[in-house]
Structure 1
Amino acid sequence: MSRRTLLLTTAALLAVTLTGCGDGTTPSQTAAQGSGFGTGRHASDTPEQTLHLAEQLLTKECMEKRGYKYWVEERPAPDGPSLFPYVVDDPAWAARHGYGNDIYRAQQREALRDPNQRYFRSMPADRAPELVSALNGPRPEGLSVRLPNGIQVTHSDQGCVAEAERALYKDLPAWFRATRVATSLAGMRAGMVVADKRYLAALKPWARCMKAKGYTYPSPAEARAAATRPDKEWPHAEEVRLASAEAACAGSGSASSPSSGPGSGSDTLSAVVKSLDAEYRAELRRRHPGPTADLDRLKREALPRARTIVARGD
């Protein structure tokens, strides 16, 4: 789950209600790297960035029409857990960032300077709830979906976030359903990977490799947890050493896996998790074809509108 807890980002203020049982979380999708733009046009490099920026510009326009200020927020930058949900396997990244605590600390510092946050904190106490309601709607009602894991998720179909999504994607209920199901499936996929016997087999040579380097963690998850404890900050150099060992071991060693193992015969932990992740992604898409197809279609249809909005600017 995201470690950023500040109140006034579009991502954090979804005002959802969850009922039922199960865990629909995904690997951490951390907070925005920067928060405010001035006026004029904005650059976007990929379809995902273009869609995000268009939604932010529409949200800004809506909030200003309602008498509030709003600063466009950048698309969340990937952090360590989202880049490497199973194992850090990029030696160059590990040598620079370790597990990404430096990125997280930089994001925390940036969040304190977030203009939307400062604006929220500057509001009189009796007006702050009105601002949140304008952004996210008065109550988490109007949109609802039951996720594959049994959780019921609801959200307001009012407010500027909903208005922006409706303008961009047109079919707001379908967009809500598709995005929430996709998030849930990502969490399910991760659980399926780490429970797979091929993953468990590949852990053994990885752990032996780590032990030879002086570390006795039985899995990458436990190594990461030790280095990223919020109550015990590791020196950056120590974090880098552990993550670098993890990355080296992820690409070396050999498990006694059967010929049916993943990939083209390679059974390093890095290869195994990539193969299993792709396998279970395809399986879950087959199991839930409607929402996944809707998500692809809605993004594809929205992209020309998004490009027009971004070209128009503020």
Structure 2
Amino acid sequence: MHRWTLTLLTAGLLATTATGCAGTTTTPGATGSSTPRAAGSTAETLRLAEQLLIKKCMEKEGHKYWVEPAAPDDVSVRFPYVVDDPAWARAHGYGTDLRRQRVAEVRSDPNQRYFHSVPAGTRAVLVSDLNGAQAQGLSARLPNGIRVSHSDQGCQATAQRQLYGDLQAWFRATRVTDSLAGMRVGLVTDDKRYKAAVKPWARCMRERTYTYADPARARAAATGPETPWPHAKEVGLASAEAACAVSSGLSSVAKSLDAEYRDQLRRSHPRETADLARLKREALPRAREIVAHAD
């Protein structure tokens, strides 16, 4: 979701408004002061092309805009079940150092500075020109029954329409498949096989003097905003978690269950899964052309 509420412009997910919930309006925010000239993976090529199209659109509307780099994965994305990379844990613990770094980057990025340099009335125009004036035109019902909507106007919608063609299909496919990711984590952690695998992990942790019933409780203890741990203490707990995740077999069980439920959820929503793959595949040649001819 864009960061113009917290920061400025992020090309990620469209900001959404859920029926019956408060709407979210996004604000500009980014790091990086120049246009990247190369893209690697398919995802990065598509992301960069969308950013370039947003930049072109916003500049056409009379605004300044800097292309954003991809945001790094949060620890909850990298390790949704248990930290199981000992080297990463030794360096970052639960990643609070990386989050602090990211917050500092967001505060100093050029889009953020630009957003706060213009009058309040202009800020509202910026948000509207990015997101569209009203959260209407695009709609999707999530697997949990909640309906989300977004404007089909504004520079992000314009960029995604140019890149993917069928904007409504893109909105529905991304919203539904994104929600499936959260559902998958819940299914895995509720699975009796995961719960059984947590028990030897907890025994391993007790042998290392940590008495947490599961990885979620360990992570919450170290990263709670009210009582942040010193970095060395956080690293010690995360390192123990990672070592026990590997030695107890919890890491292998979690990965196996994740793959099982990923396939199951995809089969339960074949339309959105197929649409997402098709739209990305069809957009890739356009994205490569946009990136290759960027000013």
Tell me the secondary structure at the aligned position of residue 120 of structure 2.
coil
Query: Shift in Å at residue 203 of structure 1?
Result: 0.6
2:32: which partner in 1?
Answer: 36
Query: Shift in Å at residue 36 of structure 1?
Result: 2.3
Query: Shift in Å at residue 9 of structure 1?
Result: 2.4
Give ranges in structure 1 of 5+ residues lacking alignment. Answer: 22-31, 254-267
CA change 1:12–1:164 in 2 (3 A) is closer
C-alpha distance in 1, partners of 2:166/2:194? 39
1:8: which partner in 2?
Answer: 8
C-alpha distance in 2, partners of 1:199/1:46? 32
Query: Shift in Å at residue 10 of structure 1?
Result: 2.7
CA change 1:4–1:230 in 2 (3 A) is farther
C-alpha distance in 1, partners of 2:180/2:86? 29
CA change 1:13–1:168 in 2 (3 A) is closer
CA change 1:137–1:305 in 2 (3 A) is same
Matched, 1:281 2:262: yes
CA change 1:176–1:100 in 2 (3 A) is same
Matched, 1:176 2:171: yes
CA change 1:155–1:125 in 2 (3 A) is same
Q: Is the 8 A contact 1:88 1:243 kept in 2?
A: yes
CA change 1:172–1:160 in 2 (3 A) is same
Q: Is the 8 A contact 1:4 1:108 kept in 2?
A: no
Query: Shift in Å at residue 37 of structure 1?
Result: 3.2
* Percentage of identical aligned residues: 65
C-alpha distance in 2, partners of 1:115/1:108? 14
Tell me the secondary structure at the aligned position of residue 127 of structure 1.
helix
Q: Is the 8 A contact 1:190 1:277 kept in 2?
A: yes
CA change 1:2–1:203 in 2 (3 A) is farther
Per-residue deviation, residues 28-52 of structure 1 (Å, max 9, x unmatched): xxxx9x612325x522111110000
Per-residue deviation, residues 34-88 of structure 1 (Å, max 9, x unmatched): 612325x522111110000000000000000010011100112112111100000
CA change 1:44–1:13 in 2 (3 A) is closer
Tell me the secondary structure at the aligned position of residue 153 of structure 1.
strand
Q: Is the 8 A contact 1:6 1:12 kept in 2?
A: no
Q: Could you tell me which of 269, 274, 278 is aligned with 1:293?
A: 274
C-alpha distance in 1, partners of 2:98/2:144? 31
Per-residue deviation, residues 78-130 of structure 1 (Å, max 9, x unmatched): 12111100000000000101000110010011011111111111111122111
C-alpha distance in 2, partners of 1:176/1:190? 22
Q: Is the 8 A contact 1:10 1:161 kept in 2?
A: no
Q: Could you tell me which of 306, 309, 312 is aligned with 2:287?
A: 306
Query: Shift in Å at residue 201 of structure 1?
Result: 0.3
1:29: which partner in 2?
Answer: none
C-alpha distance in 2, partners of 1:299/1:281? 19
**Alignment TM-score, normalising by the size of structure 2:** 0.93
**Alignment TM-score, normalising by the size of structure 1:** 0.88
- The amino acid across from 1:10 in the alignment is T
Higher percent of residues as helix: 2
Q: Is the 8 A contact 2:202 2:211 kept in 1?
A: yes
CA change 1:282–1:52 in 2 (3 A) is same
C-alpha distance in 1, partners of 2:13/2:188? 30
C-alpha distance in 2, partners of 1:2/1:92? 32
- The amino acid across from 2:262 in the alignment is R
Moved more, 128-137 or 71-80: 71-80
| CA RMSD, 1 decimal | 2.0
Q: Could you tell me which of 88, 96, 107 is aligned with 2:91?
A: 96
Query: Shift in Å at residue 15 of structure 1?
Result: 3.9
CA change 1:99–1:60 in 2 (3 A) is same
2:201: which partner in 1?
Answer: 206
CA change 1:19–1:167 in 2 (3 A) is same
Map residues 120-131 of structure 1 onto 2, 5 A cutoff.
120-131=115-126
